[in-house]
């Protein structure tokens, strides 16, 4: 993936103060093409940043641009070229997904016939079949998230802002949504800015991750740099946690105890070695294994590291 | 057994490179969709009942009037008084339909989706106001137009009431603009549709009652000079005053109205106040 001349978006000393809280504090960051993840705890300023980038909220100070357009003066042009999937629910219950997405396409300036075609195409791409003719009031959370994504894509934007698209989804729904986001970024060729409070889920779909906390930039780097540090596996055994930890440490693995969980750092040069070592150690000690999983990188892990 | 002739290919994602219309066309599309919705088109059957029933009630005096003209050769229903005569029906229509236009977008938070597109708060408000105004104009203009056509066909002795008819059409525009801006202003303050309906109908009943009460009290205490001012507290009498001042139609009320110029200014002020209120409310909702 090559970096284009104009970044997807860029901010310069962006600050937004509300009467009682500072949402963004001197944020300078830029994102290239592809899928960019924006990670932060709740209240870190993610949604505020998206509103500023859409040109809907004026910053207190600083500048921001999207696709080379200034958010302060060219909001309309920006909103013509981008799509937005809000975090909150935004679907009227008494109309069907088809009608709703057609209407939203028209609001983006598509003529009615083109809007109908695009809506049918887009709903198919997000995976909504026959149920798209039923009123949306009866949809599951997964279906609602798909419709929200469809309305953001229906006018074929160059860039989409997806605010917490996996919110409220079960693990299977999360996986489906993440796969869909990956497809939007690669197969559809639409640049994506996706927010989440879970770094672990973004590392699976993003090319680049930006971490903000309290409105400040904590880190902005390509995903490879995150995953290298994040590779850990979690092990939980019924009894003999300490014996297992000692055994693994003796084998040269980096082990830490977190309550009932042992987290083992996966060796960067030979990932298979760590997994084998855990398996063998559990077998040799005759322990009953309750859990063995790839640890999701968590945002706290990034917070512990020094800011790059 | 027929061989399948069509095959579905997955052609993947296709980009859209057709025309992209401007803000004006998007606003128009929103207005047209809202107008259709006011009469229940594109909505459930249940949503069609109320507006179509009210439209049917609005047409009843027309039917009676044409019947009397045809059979008894008498003209019983003057055009300029139609709206005042049917004011309760119009008020119910306004109360039932203005919350439909604004409340769901607030309640289900669809508004941010509109505003994330090349549509401004003003475009949104203009589309909604225009949709309701056109609907109200239709509600008033259709019955009197049918009656006028009937009058021409029946061919009563004497000239047709063309000036009255045109004046009433002008009045219908005034009613439509005033009532739609007040209706949307009241309805947009609550995201709950039922409450919106109640607020709009309460506003009408309150102004109608206060107007009648003040008029009765003032005229019985001999304050005949100020009594007419009490009448125009009722929006329908306010428009009737302006209608007779602007278009020279006979006022529905025999007791006399306040000076036309004052009524015109009050009408403009109320419309301006209501529209400003709606815009401010949506500016706040948008941020």
**DSSP secondary structure string for all residues of A53-71:** HTTSS--SEEEEEETTEET
Run of H or E including A210: strand A208-213
For residues A1 and A206, give the distance between their C-alpha atoms in angstroms, rounded to a whole number: 12
Q: Which residues in chain B touch residue A125, judged by CB atoms under 8 angstroms apart?
A: 13
Inter-chain touch A90–B115, beta carbons under 8 Å: no
In chain A, residues 183-212 whose CB comes closer than 8 Å to chain B: 187-189
Are A9-227 and A231-304 the same fold in CATH?
no
pLDDT at A60: 95
Q: Does B116 lie at the interface with A, CB-CB under 8 angstroms?
A: yes
The residue among B89, B175, B177, B85 whose CA lies nearest residue B129 is B177
State residue B8's pLDDT score. Answer: 65
A-B C-beta contacts closer than 8 Å: 99
Q: Evaluate whether the domain defined by A231-304 bears CATH number 3.40.30.10.
A: no
Note whether B28 contacts A: Cβ–Cβ < 8 A.
no
Q: Does B45 touch chain A (CB under 8 A)?
A: no
Pairwise CB contact (< 8 Å): B13 & A125: yes
Mean pLDDT of all residues belonging to chain B: 92
Sign of torsion, CA B115 B117 B123 B125? negative
What is the tens place of the pLDDT at every residue in A62-89?
999 999 999 999 999 999 999 999 999 9
Chain A CB contacts of B45 below 8 Å:
none
Write out chain B residues lying below 8 Å of A186, CB-based. Answer: none
Helix axes B45-72, B87-107, angle to 10 degrees: 160
pLDDT of residue A3: 44
Q: Which residue has the higher pLDDT, A46 or A264?
A: A46
Strand arrangement of the beta sheet that strand A22-31 belongs to: A22-31, A9-17, A61-66, A69-70
pLDDT of residue A2: 42
Residue positions counted in chain B: 287
Contact B118 A109 (CB under 8 A): yes
Contact with chain A for residue B33, Cβ under 8 A:
yes
- How far apart, in Å, do the first and last CA atoms of chain B sit? 62
Q: How far apart are CA A206 and CA A8, in angstroms?
A: 14
CA atoms within 13 A on the CB side of B181: 19
Asked if B268 and B276 count as a contact pair (C-beta separation under 8 A), the reply is no
Which of A56, A91, A97, A107 is the best substitution to test chain B (most B C-beta atoms within 10 A)?
A107
Question: B110 CB near a chain A CB, below 8 Å?
Answer: yes
Tokens representing residue B66 in the block: 């044409």
3-state DSSP helix/strand/coil percent for chain B, to nearest 5?
Answer: 75, 0, 25
**Nearest-10 crossing angle of helices A97-107, B23-38:** 140
With the CA atoms of B5, B11, B15 and B18 taken in that order, what torsion angle do they form, in degrees rounded to the nearest 10?
A: -10
Contact assignment for B110 to A56 by CB distance below 8 Å:
no
Looking at residue A5, its pLDDT comes to 57
Percentage helix, strand, coil for chain A under 3-state DSSP, each rounded to 5: 40, 25, 35
- CB distance from B25 to chain A under 8 Å? yes
In A134-194, alpha helices (H): 141-153, 171-186
Cα B60 from chain centroid (whole Å): 19
- Which residues in chain B touch residue A151, judged by CB atoms under 8 angstroms apart? 113
Give the one of B14, B19, B113 whose C-beta lies nearest to A151's C-beta.
B113
Out of B13, B112, B114, name the one closest to residue A187 (CB).
B13
Q: Phi and psi of A27, rounded to 5°?
A: -90, 120
The answer, for A137 touching chain B at a CB cutoff of 8 Å, is no
Q: What percent of chain B has pLDDT over 90?
A: 78
Torsion of CA A222, A24, A151, A189, to 10 degrees: -20
- Other C-beta atoms lying within 10 Å of the C-beta of residue B253: 16
Chain A residue numbers touching B286 (CB-CB < 8 A): 56
Band of the pLDDT at A229, cuts 50, 70, 90?
A: low
A129 touches chain B (CB under 8 A): no
The one-character DSSP state at A77 is H
Stated length of chain A = 308
- Rounded-to-integer distance, Cα B182 and Cα A6, Å: 47
Q: Which of A229-243, A289-303, B91-105 shows the lowest mean pLDDT across its residues?
A: A289-303
Contact B26 A108 (CB under 8 A): yes
Beta strands at A61-66 and A69-70: parallel, antiparallel or unpaired: antiparallel
Domain at A9-227, CATH from 3.40.50.1370, 3.40.50.11540, 1.10.287.130, 3.40.50.300: 3.40.50.300
Do residue B44 and residue A94 have CB atoms under 8 angstroms apart? yes
Supply the pLDDT for residue A256: 83
The residues spanned by each domain of chain A are 9-227, 231-304
pLDDT digits (tens, 9 = 90+) for B153-186: 998 888 899 999 999 999 999 999 999 999 999 9
**CB within 8 Å: B33 and A103:** yes
C-beta separation of B23 from A76 below 8 A:
yes
For residue B28, the tally of other CB atoms under 10 A from its CB is 15
A116 near B CB under 8 A: no
Tens digits of residue pLDDT in A189-212: 999 999 998 887 887 889 999 999
Helix (H, G, I), strand (E, B) or coil at B49: helix
B39, B48 Cβ separation under 8 angstroms: yes
Residue of A79, A90, A95 lying closest to B117 (CB–CB)? A79
The chain-wide mean pLDDT, for chain A, equals 88
Q: Do A106 and B26 touch (CB under 8 A)?
A: yes
Q: How far is A236 from chain B (nearest CA, A)?
A: 43
Inform me whether the pLDDT recorded for A306 exceeds 50: no
Chain B CB contacts of A99 below 8 Å: 42
Q: What's the rounded mean pLDDT across residues A280-299?
A: 78
C-beta atoms of A104 and B113 within 8 A: yes
Which of B16, B108, B120 faces A156 most closely, judged by CB atoms?
A: B16
pLDDT (tens digit per residue) in A19-68? 999 999 999 999 989 999 999 888 889 999 999 999 999 999 999 999 99
Q: Which helix (H) or strand (E) holds A161?
A: strand A159-162
Q: What is the pLDDT of residue A305?
A: 45
B9 touches chain A (CB under 8 A): no
Percent of chain A whose pLDDT exceeds 90: 59
Percent of chain A with pLDDT over 70: 91
Average of per-residue pLDDT across B115-129: 95
Helix (H/G/I), strand (E/B), else coil: A26:
strand
Closest CA to B89 of B236, B250, B188, B257: B236
Chain A residues with CB under 8 Å of B22 CB are 109
B24: closest chain A residue by CA: A109
Percent of chain B with pLDDT over 70: 96
Nearest to A111 among B19, B108, B112 (CB): B19
Kindly determine whether residue B108 and residue A57, on different chains, have CB atoms separated by under 8 Å: no
The verdict on A162 touching B (C-beta cutoff 8 Å) is no
Please judge whether A76 and B118 are an interchain contact, meaning their C-beta atoms are less than 8 angstroms apart: yes
Are A107 and B21 in contact (CB < 8 Å)?
A: no
Report the alpha-carbon distance of residue B70 to residue B156 in Å, rounded: 8
Is A90 within 8 Å of B33 when comparing Cβ atoms?
no
- Test A107 with B109 for CB contact under 8 angstroms: no
pLDDT at A304 over 60: no
Query: A114 to chain B: nearest residue by CA?
Result: B18
Range with the poorest average pLDDT among A161-165, A263-267, B241-245, B271-275? A263-267
Spatial distance between the Cα atoms of B208 and B197, rounded to a whole number of angstroms: 17
């Amino acid at each position: 993936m090559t970096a284009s001349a104009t970044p997807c978006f860029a901010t310069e000393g962006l600050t937004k103060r509300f009467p009682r809280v500072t949402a963004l504090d001197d944020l300078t960051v830029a994102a290239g093409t592809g899928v960019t993840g924006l990670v932060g705890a709740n209240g870190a300023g993610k949604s505020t940043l998206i509103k500023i980038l859409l040109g809907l909220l004026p910053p207190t100070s600083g500048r921001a641009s999207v696709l080379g357009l200034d958010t302060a003066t060219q909001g309309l042009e920006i909103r013509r070229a981008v799509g937005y999937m809000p975090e909150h629910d935004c679907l009227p219950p008494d109309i069907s997904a088809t009608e709703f997405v057609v209407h939203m396409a028209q609001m983006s300036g598509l003529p009615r016939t083109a809007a109908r075609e695009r809506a049918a195409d887009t709903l198919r791409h997000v995976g909504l079949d026959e149920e798209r003719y039923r009123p949306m009031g009866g949809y599951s959370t997964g279906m609602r998230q798909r419709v929200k994504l469809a309305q953001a894509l229906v006018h074929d934007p160059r860039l989409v802002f997806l605010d917490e698209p996996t919110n409220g989804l079960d693990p299977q729904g999360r996986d489906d949504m993440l796969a869909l986001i990956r497809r939007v970024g690669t197969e559809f060729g639409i640049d994506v800015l996706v927010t989440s409070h879970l770094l672990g889920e973004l590392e699976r779909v993003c090319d680049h991750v930006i971490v903000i906390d309290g409105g400040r930039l904590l880190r902005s780097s390509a995903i490879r740099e995150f995953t290298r540090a994040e590779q850990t596996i979690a092990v939980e055994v019924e009894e003999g946690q300490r014996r297992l930890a000692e055994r693994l440490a003796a084998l040269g693995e980096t082990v830490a105890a977190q309550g009932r969980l042992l987290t083992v750092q996966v060796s960067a040069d030979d990932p298979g070695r760590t997994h084998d070592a855990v398996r063998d150690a559990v077998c040799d000690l005759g322990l009953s294994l309750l859990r063995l999983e790839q640890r999701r990188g968590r945002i706290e892990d990034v917070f512990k590291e020094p800011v790059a | 057994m027929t061989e399948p002739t069509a095959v579905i290919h997955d052609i993947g994602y296709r980009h859209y490179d057709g025309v992209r219309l401007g803000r004006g066309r998007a606003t128009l599309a929103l207005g047209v969709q809202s107008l259709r919705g006011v009469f229940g088109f594109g909505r459930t059957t249940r949503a069609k009942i109320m507006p179509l029933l009210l439209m049917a009630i609005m047409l009843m005096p027309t039917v009676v009037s044409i019947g009397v003209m045809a059979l008894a050769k008498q003209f019983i229903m003057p055009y300029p008084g139609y709206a005042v005569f049917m004011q309760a029906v119009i008020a119910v229509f306004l109360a039932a339909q203005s919350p439909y236009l604004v409340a769901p977008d607030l309640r289900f938070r669809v508004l941010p989706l509109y505003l994330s597109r090349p549509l401004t708060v003003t475009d949104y408000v203009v589309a909604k106001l225009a949709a309701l105004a056109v609907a109200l104009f239709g509600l008033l203009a259709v019955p009197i137009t049918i009656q006028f056509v009937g009058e021409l066909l029946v061919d009563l002795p004497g000239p047709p009431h063309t000036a009255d008819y045109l004046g009433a059409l002008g009045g219908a525009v005034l009613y439509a603009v005033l009532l739609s801006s007040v209706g949307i202003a009241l309805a947009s303050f609550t995201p709950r549709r039922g409450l919106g309906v109640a607020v709009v109908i309460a506003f009408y009943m309150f102004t109608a009652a206060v107007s009648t009460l003040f008029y009765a009290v003032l005229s019985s205490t001999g304050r005949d000079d100020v009594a007419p001012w009490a009448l125009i507290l009722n929006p329908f009498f306010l428009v009737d005053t302006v209608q007779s001042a602007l278009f020279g139609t006979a006022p529905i009320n025999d007791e006399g109205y306040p000076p036309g110029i004052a009524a015109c200014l009050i009408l403009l002020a109320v419309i301006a106040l209501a529209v400003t209120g709606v815009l401010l409310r949506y500016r706040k909702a948008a941020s």
